[in-house]
Each structure stands twice: as structure tokens, then as C-alpha cells.
Amino acid sequence: MNDKTASDSNAGERVAKHMARAGLCSRRDGERWIAEGRVKVDGKTIDTPAIIVDDPARISVDGNQLGKKSETQVWRYHKPPGLVTTHKDDLGRATVFQKMPQHLPRVISVGRLDLNTEGLLLMTNDGELARRLELPATGWKRKYRVRIFGYVDDEKLKTLAKGITVDGIHYGAIEASLEKRTGSNAWLSMTLSEGKNREIRKVLEHLGLKVSRLIRTEYGPFKLGNLTRGAVMEVSRKMLIDQLGVNFDEPGATAGVAKKTRGTGWAKAKPKPKAKTTLRDKARARAKEKLDEKLKEKRKAKFKSKPKPKPKTEAKTETKAETKAKPTPKPRLKKKS
């Protein structure tokens, strides 16, 4: 077996990475399977993940040939409460993967949701992509609606924007606002950038609030929307390319997703192309300019020809003093005949 280690050559990819890209498992699980002796290359068992292989068909796991990587796909899934986000549960509880439709290939979740948390959960058949989309380097925010029991202090909610430390664990900035209050219950809107284990429940419990319902509504550019509980819907390839900014047909395309999606994760709107100006449009613009000039000249001429109003003369009114000063005429006496 003439394979090279990661330090010897840049051609090809690590064995665990091939396994993750094929949707068989995550890269970490692949490394664990290699340590357990479940993976072979060219028929020989390997004991280190630092082996570069150019063709995934040379790899076999549990006696099954890995084969070529299938086309990368992503699905939106509305996880109901009461399901665990794992392939196997030691306690025998129902898992989200047991509820996947039969026609779907083997999928991996992008992150996890707690047992009693519901809402948007992304699924993909590309293990490497799943790992990349979980990293905080994407800058993608996770938005939740939270129903809580207890009195909500708006000032305390605002302090979460600076981050908070609970039981020695520091949580980054959290955007929290009150949506509505009904009696002793209230609905909050919370947005996280990290999404640590049970982060919302622990932070709100630290503030004296008890979470009675938790729904994830957004994960970066992907939204829950009107997806009903338990429903699965595939994300279009166009949206994947627009939001992730990578060509999935190229080998190792998902390796740079974290760098290319740095920021809010929302694709910037393309500027609208300028409309072409035709000869007819130019002629209309010139005619409008001439018409505007004529109207201005008419207004000026009308203003000049208008006669100036004569000043009003005030009527002379007699004061009470003047009327008193006038002598009253004496009555004439008639002569006796």
C-alpha cells in the first residue's frame, strides 16, 4: 500500500474525510472507526486516520466498499419534541433518524436539538458539510421562540447582549426580547450565535425563568416557515449555491464553507441592471424638457403682466371728542303775524 500521509502530499483526502463526504458518518466517528479496526484501504486494515487516498473506491468499511461520493443534498426537518438527535440511543428512546422517510439516503444532522426542543433541524448526506455548518466561523445565527413561566425583567434580558457566565461556563452575546405576555406565561424571541448545549434553558433558569416550550425557527439563512411537525423538505440546489457560495461538483468543495459564509450567512442582493435607454426614451425626455421650459416662461409672463393692486384708503372716522365739540344748531322761532 503506497499511500501517503497528510504531511507528504496534498493530493486526495484523508480516509475519514472520504467517509464523511460519502454520508457514512461524521469525520470524528470515522477516525474512531479507524481506531477500532473497521476500515480498510486496498484490503488492508489501517490504524491511523492520517492517510491520504485519492480514490474513495479503495476504502471499505465493515467489508463494504465506500464507493464514490453522492451528490450533496440538504433537507429542512421540523423536529417534534420527544425525539433524540442521535443514530443510536442507549436508553432505547426514539430518534429523529428513525422518523426519516424511507426514500432518503443515510443523513447526518447539522448540530442537535434537545429531547424536548422542537423546530428546524438541518439534515445532509455530506458529513463534511454538516461539520462545517456547525462551526461558529460561519457566523450563522440560530433563532428561537421560547415560552417561559415567571416574571420577565426587560432590563435583565438586555444584559444578555453582553454575554453571561453560568456555573463557570461563558455564553456569548444573546439577543433576547419579549414578544407577548399572557398571565404568568410569556413568549420570548432569542437569537444565539454559538448554540452550546442547553444554552437557552440554562441561561433563563439562571434568570429565574422556567422554559416550558422551545422552538428553533431559523438556522442561518434557512427558516422553519410553514413546515409541519415531522415534515421533511429538500433545500434546492440553487439556494445551497447562493447561500454557501460553493460549487458542490468540485472535490473538497465543502471544505471552505466556513470561510465563504463568514458574516450573517445571508446572500447579498445583486444590484439591478440598468435599463437600456432607447431613441424613443431620449426623444420623450427632450420633449418633456422643452414643455417644462415653456410652462416656466408662461408663468413668468403672467406674473409680469398682472397689474399691481391699488393701496386701500382708510375712511376718516370721527371720534367721540370731535362730535362733542361741534355746536348744535339753535331752532328758529316763527314770527307772530
**Catalytic residue set:** 114
pLDDT number for residue 2? 53
Last residue of a domain, one of 15, 35, 65: 65
Kindly compute the dihedral angle of the four CA atoms of residues 196, 197, 201, 205, in this order, to the nearest 10 degrees.
-90
Based on the fold, state whether residues 122 and 16 are members of the same structural domain: no
Distance CA 87, CA 100 (A): 11
Highest-confidence range of 67-76, 129-138, 194-203, 324-333, by mean pLDDT?
194-203
Based on the fold, state whether residues 237 and 263 are members of the same structural domain: yes
Domain CATH number, residue 153: 3.30.2350.10
Based on the fold, state whether residues 33 and 171 are members of the same structural domain: no
Domain CATH number, residue 41: 3.10.290.10
Based on the fold, state whether residues 114 and 253 are members of the same structural domain: yes
In a domain, 337, yes or no: no
Residues 177-189: tens digit of each pLDDT: 999 988 889 999 9
Distance CA 255, CA 244 (A): 11
Mean pLDDT within 235-240: 90
Q: What range defines the domain where residue 247 resides? A: 70-137+222-269
Residues 93-108: tens digit of each pLDDT: 999 999 999 888 888 8
In a domain, 193, yes or no: yes
In a domain, 321, yes or no: no
Residues 294-323: tens digit of each pLDDT: 887 877 777 666 666 665 555 555 555 555
Mean pLDDT within 237-247: 80
CA distances from 276 to 189, 271, 283, 285 (A): 46, 15, 14, 14
Least confident of 46-60, 261-275, 305-319: 261-275
Last residue of a domain, one of 204, 219, 234: 219
Based on the fold, state whether residues 100 and 237 are members of the same structural domain: yes
In a domain, 124, yes or no: yes
Based on the fold, state whether residues 116 and 238 are members of the same structural domain: yes
Longest dimension (CA), the chain: 170
Q: Is the pLDDT of residue 152 over 60?
A: yes
pLDDT number for residue 202? 93
Listed as own residue / partner, the contacts of 301-308 with beta carbons closer than 8 Å and 24 or more positions apart are none
In a domain, 252, yes or no: yes
Based on the fold, state whether residues 232 and 181 are members of the same structural domain: no
Q: How many angstroms from the chain centroid is the CA of residue 235?
A: 15
pLDDT number for residue 232? 95
Domain CATH number, residue 258: 3.30.70.580
Of 239, 179, 174, give the one whose Cα is nearest residue 203: 174
Residues 117-135: tens digit of each pLDDT: 999 999 998 877 888 888 8
Based on the fold, state whether residues 101 and 242 are members of the same structural domain: yes
Based on the fold, state whether residues 100 and 207 are members of the same structural domain: no
Average pLDDT in the chain: 80
Based on the fold, state whether residues 129 and 250 are members of the same structural domain: yes
Give the pTM.
Answer: 0.64
pLDDT number for residue 267? 45
Based on the fold, state whether residues 200 and 94 are members of the same structural domain: no
Highest-confidence range of 34-43, 247-256, 328-337, by mean pLDDT?
34-43
Based on the fold, state whether residues 213 and 111 are members of the same structural domain: no
Last residue of a domain, one of 201, 219, 237: 219
Structurally, how many domains does the chain consist of? 3
pLDDT number for residue 19? 83
For β-strands 4-5 and 108-109, DSSP reports them as unpaired
In a domain, 130, yes or no: yes
Could you tell me the pLDDT band of residue 34, with boundaries at 50, 70 and 90?
very high
pLDDT number for residue 120? 96
In a domain, 299, yes or no: no
In a domain, 215, yes or no: yes
